[in-house]
Amino acid sequence: MKGVKLGGSAIGSPADIAEMLEFAAKKQVHPFIQERPLKEANRAVIDMDKGNARYRYVLVNEKHATDLKA
């Protein structure tokens, strides 16, 4: 134990990630998400801990979300 640390990534190299993102964009692959209002962030954490999250939670600032959709 000389203070040496070894790390890695299980998701691939930066080139692999870029290739995957290009493929997803080309084939119009979209993630399954569930948007939650930012004001419900604490509730979202509780729901995740309970295993109630069906998809990935995305916290949305309601004010800015409506500005972007307009």
Range of the domain at 53: 30-69
pLDDT in tens, 19-48: 999 999 999 999 899 999 999 999 999 999
Question: Is residue 2 over pLDDT 70?
Answer: yes
pLDDT at 1: 60
Report the number of distinct structural domains present in the chain: 1
**Spatial separation of the C-alpha atoms in residues 18 and 24, rounded to whole Å:** 10
Does a structural domain hold residue 46?
Answer: yes
Rg (CA), the chain: 18
- Residue 36 forms part of a structural domain: yes
Token pair belonging to 9: 């990534």
